[in-house]
Amino acid sequence: MTKEEKKNVAAAAGANVDKAAFVQRKLKVMNQKGTAVHQRNATRVVENNK
């Protein structure tokens, strides 16, 4: 899937998809940093966005 297609799918499905994708990217970055605090906060963000 190209970036353009992904954008279209996200736009079609609404803003929540964008937000979910953003949170996933954020989690990935935080996991790379690997600190417990980052992971705790990331989990909280995901819980809040359900």
C-alpha triplet 25, 28, 31: angle, nearest 5°: 150
Give one DSSP letter per residue of 1-50, joined into a string. Answer: --HHHHHHHHHHH-HHHHHHHHHHHHHHHHHHH--HHHHHHHHHHHHHT-
| Mean pLDDT over the full length of the chain | 70
Q: What is the pLDDT of residue 20?
A: 77
- With beta carbons less than 8 A apart as the criterion, state whether 35 and 43 touch: no
Query: In this model, does residue 26 exceed pLDDT 70?
Result: yes
The band of 10, judged by pLDDT with boundaries at 50, 70 and 90, is low
Q: What is the residue type of 15?
A: A
Q: What is the residue type of 9?
A: V
